[in-house]
Amino acid sequence: GTEKQSAPYTYRLRYRDVSRQSDYKFASLNLPSIFMVDLEPASKYEFSVRVHRGDQHSTGAPQLSTPHLNQLPAPAPVM
């Protein structure tokens, strides 16, 4: 078949403040790891991360994060 250039990875982050029952926010980043920059004390965040590469993407399972865990590890890249 036709060969494609290696597409860059894009990490799509969906998160919300559980404490306030806020709406989901979305972020799309071309980074090896994702930082949540607007964490507040006494807040708990629910988030899911998907890795996109071209037309492929990984599934992002929702997880909970507390403020002292403000760096989310990047999920495994899509092969």
What is the tens place of the pLDDT at every residue in 41-68?
566 777 777 777 777 777 666 565 544 4
pTM above 0.75, yes or no: no
When pLDDT is cut at 50, 70 and 90, the band that residue 38 belongs to is low
Q: Rounded mean pLDDT of 27-51? A: 64
Contacts of 66 (CB under 8 A, 6+ apart): 44, 45
CATH number for the domain spanning 13: value is 2.60.40.10
pLDDT at 68: 40
Neighbours of 75 (CB within 10 A): 17
Residue 4 covered by a domain: no
Residue 3 covered by a domain: no
Residue 75 covered by a domain: no
Q: How far apart are CA 79 and CA 20, in angstroms?
A: 37
